[in-house]
Amino acid sequence: MPENYTENSSLFMKKVVCLLLVLTISICQSAQAQTVKTQKTANLTLYKDAGQPVEKRAENLLAQMTLDEKIGQMTQLCASSITLDGTKNLDLNLDKIREYITKEHVGSFLSGTGKAQRWVDFVKGIQEVAVKETRLGIPIIFGIDHVHGADYVDEATMLPHNLNLSCTFNTELAKQSANITAVESADLGHHWNFAPVLDVGKNPYWPRLYETFGEDPLVCSRFGAAFISAYQNNPEIAPYKLTACAKHFIGYSDPKSGWDRTPSEIPDQIIQEHFVPPFKAAFDAGVKTLMVNSGELNGEPVHISKKYLNDMLRKQLKFDGVILTDIKDILKVVEMHGGTKDEKEATRLAILAGVDMSMACSSTDFIQFMKALVNKKELSVTRIDESVRRILKLKFELGLFENPFPSSARLDKIGSAKHREMAYLSALESLVLLKNEKEIMPLSKETKKILIAGLGANSKRQLNGAWTLEWLGAEEARQPQNMETVLTAMRKSFSNSEVTWVDSADVHGSKGFFRFLDECTHTDAIVLCLGEQPYSEFKGNINDLNLDASQLRLIQAAKLAEKPVILILMAGRPRVISEITGDVDAIIFAGHPGVEGGNAIVNVLSGKENPSGKLSFSYPSSVGHFTTYYHKKSDKYQPQFPFGHGLHFGQVTYQNLTLSDSVITGNKVFTAQVQVTNKGKLPVKETVLWFGHQAYGKITRPVSQLVDFQKIELKPGETKMVRFSAKPEELFTYPDAAGKPIFDFEKGHLEVGGLRSNLHVKQGTSLRR
């Protein structure tokens, strides 16, 4: 053995050990690097983990987004910008959609019209690009105006408009309306419904009155909250989820001129008392999004108003959902209101006021302005992050990352018999019998000859109104095929009678007038379906609330014939009829009752159904002076038909109003009860309206204010005891101009069914001046 064997062996072993040590360190470092890489990858994809909290997912995704991607999420474009022909028809232009999503990073689209399967294909095509062809795979959120059912889907159930619904005073029907709308649209990828309208309908000239729930804040609050809760929490649409949108914040519905999008001048006190409550109720019901008033309020375009969007909406009312503009309304701050020098400045002010998303529709100028504002440090990335965070949270809450694609599996539910039945019940309860002189209604089925005329007599469009497949209401040929007009329903119901239709277009000039008069002379009863053609927004602006002369001529002819005349009012607002009210024997306010409206109207005419609707608005008697029922003592209330008016076939009486205690403390519950009796021969649904009055207050109080309503059913001859419980401080607390509650009630009364009972609060329990 060599001398140096031991030494060489030792040296060799040292080298082996060193090599092993190096290899071990290398392996450890590699493993550690792989672990770090894995952790880093996991962190980058955390937002895709549905098991993580929404807030955490939103923050994770937000941290990875570029400025361009963030601004894109704040942008909403119209469907017409991504279709082949530039209309709302559902032919997707893939080049355009790739341009807007992959290059401009647009996060939302809206509008469109067509058949259900085409909707599925259209939205799926958009989502394929958004989810599979972008770096982060953020799904788009699709918005639509389904304001009376899924009204941009050909096969859908066209429901009564909101004004009709509120005349039912049955919030269960609002829930059913929401459920039907959700079931018939969720599978199509319609995630975001721009409904309900929560504006209080105080001005009868305003052309969007039919989209409101009437003039009373309590009615608007309850119907709005009922719709939102049912729409956003519908188990039938799983795995899809939807969001409603409370609109239009705030003061939009009472413009001084009556025209749409024109200035409103409303004291802050009235804003807090009348216009805030429906939105507060919507927030309590969990609404996730809000749309801004397109007009200006007290000199401020609301889209750029910190006072209304930040101080009132964000701070006072604590709304932290997504605030959306109405269509092109940042541009309109400049062009319509003159609120800023240019659109770039309007964009800056709108974002600073609180807007999260711009409904830019057909332009990407908003994107360019936002980039320029950030580059010049006129807008901070921090402010942009606030909005994007809300938008991402909304998308996560709706489960869009897990279920981005629409489905064809349940399209058979659209327009189902079950939904049509509910549409019929809603239409029926919404019809308001305003007059029935000498009980001319119901018409006998043995009536030999019936003449029907007027613009709504043979019109499906008139029954469905605007926002039906098209903004202004689709043309007659495109209306649902499987629905009856008043004429066709009448011919089926009165099969033993000769039902003659005179087209309104034929009643022109003296010859046409006398031909119509001759028809009236040779009939036994005349049904006139009058009103106004469907319209939407500014297209419905008018200068005269009177029913127009061409329709009045029909009534004049009918009067000359001295035959029974029934007037069916088919309109989106109350057109003044005071001059001819005495010339007709019966009047029904039908509004726009939807796809089953023709059947409902005729079944009331025939007596098959007993009408139960009551006016959710005051029907004015003049074109000049009009006011809501909750006017102040110094004003006069002289409507043609008052708020809450509505007749039945037969009589319903109220007796024995009693209070548990007429002298109580402000925080003690008291109970009122009244006996309601059906003295008619038919079953009836009666709306019991409870009104409260405060005799005086620090801020003058209205002569009357609705404090509760209940709808009950009564068999012929049946009496029910109807009860109402509350605390005086709940009923009679009102806000000051800053929204601070005031309770200074000492004396007043409670009223129901024409009965009144005095109410006193013990001195020392109220907040005194």
Domain, as residue range, for 387: 46-412
At residue 515, the pLDDT reads 86
Q: Do the Cβ atoms of 355 and 323 come closer than 8 Å?
A: yes
Mark whether 403 and 435 lie in a shared domain.
Answer: no
Please name the residues in contact with 3: beta carbons below 8 A apart, sequence gap of 6 or more.
none
In this structure, the answer to whether residues 465 and 557 fall within a common structural domain is yes
Residue 452, pLDDT > 50, answer yes
Kindly report the CATH number assigned to the domain that includes residue 358: 3.20.20.300
Which pair of structure tokens corresponds to residue 491? 């011919």
pLDDT confidence bin for 36, thresholds 50/70/90: very low
- C-alpha distances (whole Å) from 260 to each of 295, 411, 723 are 8, 37, 41
Determine, yes or no, domain membership for 34.
no
CATH code, 753: 2.60.40.10
In contact, 502 and 448? CB cutoff 8 Å = no
Indicate whether 715 pLDDT > 50. yes
DSSP code per residue over 726-762: E-HHHHH-EE-TTS-EE----EEEEEETTEEEEEEE-
Residue 21 banded pLDDT, cuts 50, 70, 90: low
pLDDT per residue as tens digits for the range 412-446: 999 999 999 999 999 999 999 999 999 999 998 88
Q: How many domains does the chain have?
A: 3
* pLDDT score of 38: 47
- Average pLDDT score over residue span 392-412: 98
Q: What percent of the chain has pLDDT over 90?
A: 88
With the C-alpha atoms ordered 53, 55, 58, 60, is the resulting torsion angle positive or negative? negative
Domain presence at residue 353:
yes
Count of beta carbons in the 10 Å neighbourhood of residue 226: 24
**What pLDDT score was predicted for residue 358?**
98
What confidence category does residue 406 fall into, taking pLDDT thresholds of 50, 70 and 90?
very high
Q: For residue 321, is it within any domain?
A: yes
- Quick one: pLDDT band at residue 769, thresholds 50, 70, 90? very low
Q: Which residues contact 121 (CB under 8 A, 6 or more apart)?
A: 90, 92
Examine the residue annotation and report whether 356 is marked as an active-site residue of this protein.
Answer: no
pLDDT tens per residue across span 165-179: 999 999 999 999 999
Nearest CA-CA partner of 297 in 282, 275, 316: 275
CA torsion through residues 83, 85, 91, 96, sign: negative
**pLDDT digits over 77-128, tens only?**
999 999 999 999 999 999 999 999 999 999 999 999 999 999 999 999 999 9
Instruction: Please answer whether residues 391 and 289 qualify as being in contact, where contact means their C-beta atoms are separated by less than 8 angstroms.
Output: no
Residues 453/502, Cβ–Cβ less than 8 Å: yes
> Is pLDDT above 70 for 763?
no
Question: For residue 514, is pLDDT > 80?
Answer: yes
What is the CATH classification number for the domain harbouring 561? 3.40.50.1700
Same structural domain, 441 and 397: no
| 378 token code pair | 């006129």
Instruction: Compute the C-alpha angle 308/309/314, nearest 5°.
Output: 110
- So what's the pLDDT on residue 12? 55
Rg for the chain, CA atoms, rounded: 31
Of 467, 468, 486, which is closest to residue 207 (Cα–Cα)? 467
| Domain annotation covers residue 455 | yes
Helix (H) or strand (E) holding 473: none
Domain membership of residue 21 (yes or no) is no
> Which pLDDT value is given to residue 247?
97
Do residue 390 and residue 251 come from a single domain?
yes
> Is residue 419 in some structural domain?
no
What is residue 114's DSSP assignment? Answer: B
| Residue whose token pair is 């029935």 | 436
Residue 447, number of CB atoms within 10 A of its CB = 17
Rounded Cα distance between 594 and 597, Å, is 5
Please list, in sequence order, all residues whose beta carbon lies within 8 angstroms of the beta carbon of residue 360, skipping any fewer than 6 positions away: 75, 76, 77, 328, 330, 366, 367
Domain co-membership, 338 together with 387: yes
Cα–Cα distances in angstroms (integers) from residue 571 to residues 54, 101, 161, 532, in the given order: 45, 42, 11, 5
Candidates 116, 194, 121, 110; CA nearest to 157 is 116
Cα–chain-centroid distance for residue 154? 20
Q: Is residue 741 domain-shared with residue 672, that is, in the same domain?
A: yes
pLDDT in tens, 225-276: 999 999 999 999 999 999 999 999 999 999 999 999 999 999 999 999 999 9
Report if residue 27 sits inside a domain: no
Please tell me the pTM assigned to this model: 0.93
- Domain finish residue from 412, 443, 461: 412
- Residue 10: pLDDT band (50, 70, 90) is low
For 377, phi then psi, to 5°, come to: 60, 30
Q: In this predicted structure, what is the pLDDT of residue 766?
A: 45
DSSP 681-712: SS-EEEEEEEEEEES--SSPPBS-EEEEEEEE
Which secondary structure element, helix H or strand E, spans residue 590, and what is its range? Answer: none
Collect all residues with Cβ–Cβ distance below 8 Å to 296 and sequence separation of at least 6: 263, 264, 302, 337, 339
Q: Quick check: 389 pLDDT over 50?
A: yes
The residue-averaged pLDDT of 476-494 equals 96
Shared domain check, 159 and 286: yes
Question: Contact at 8 Å (CB) between 571 and 546?
Answer: no
Confidence of residue 19 (pLDDT cuts 50, 70, 90): low
> Left if phi > 0, otherwise alpha if psi is -120 to 50, otherwise beta: which for 412?
alpha
> Rounded CA gap, 265 and 299, in Å?
8
Count of CA atoms in the C-beta half-sphere (13 A) of 571: 26
Is the residue at 625 inside a domain?
no
For the chain, give the mean pLDDT.
Answer: 94
Whether 592 and 463 have beta carbons less than 8 Å apart is answered as: yes
Which residue do the tokens 């072993």 mark? 13
List the end-to-end C-alpha distance of the chain, in Å, as a whole number.
117
Walk across the sheet containing 245-249 and list its strands.
245-249, 289-292, 322-324
Q: Is the pLDDT of residue 6 over 70?
A: no
State pLDDT tens for residues 342-369. 999 999 999 999 999 999 999 999 999 9
Tokens 């402000």 — which residue?
A: 666
pLDDT digits (tens, 9 = 90+) for 726-735: 999 999 999 9
User: What pLDDT sits at residue 17?
Assistant: 58
Phi, psi torsion values for 38, nearest 5 degrees: -65, -45
SS3 state of residue 611? coil
Of 606, 636, 666, the last residue of a domain is 606
Question: Is residue 662 over pLDDT 90?
Answer: no
| Same domain for 714 and 593 | no
Cβ atoms of residues 378 and 348 within 8 Å: yes
Written as six digits, the tokens of 551 are 């329709």
pLDDT of residue 506: 76
Whether 497 and 348 map to the same domain: the answer is no
Place of tokens 């216009």: 275
* Adjacent-strand bridge partners of 713: 685
The amino acid at residue 455 is: L
Cα(360)–Cα(217) distance, rounded to whole angstroms? 31
Lowest mean per-residue pLDDT among 38-47, 53-62, 688-697? 38-47
pLDDT at residue 14 is higher than 70: no
> Nearest to residue 614, comparing CAs of 434, 440, 425?
434
Are residue 384 and residue 490 in the same domain, yes or no?
Answer: no
> Which of the residue ranges 39-48, 138-147, 312-321, 389-398 would you say has the lowest mean pLDDT?
39-48
Q: What percent of the chain has pLDDT over 70?
A: 94
- Per-residue confidence band for 35, with pLDDT thresholds at 50, 70 and 90: very low
Residue 478 shares a structural domain with residue 331: no
**What pLDDT score was predicted for residue 131?**
98
Number of C-alpha atoms within 13 angstroms, CB side, residue 554?
27
**Catalytic, out of 326, 356, 585, 744:** 326
DSSP 583: G
- HEC string of 32-62 equals HHHHHHHHHHHHHCHHHCCCCCHHHHHHHHH
**Residue (of 151, 136, 6, 688) closest to 404 by Cα position:** 136
Please give the DSSP secondary-structure letter assigned to residue 568. E
Same-domain status, 408 and 435: no
Q: What b/e readout covers 83-94, taking b as 16+ CB neighbours within 10 angstroms?
A: beeeebebebbe
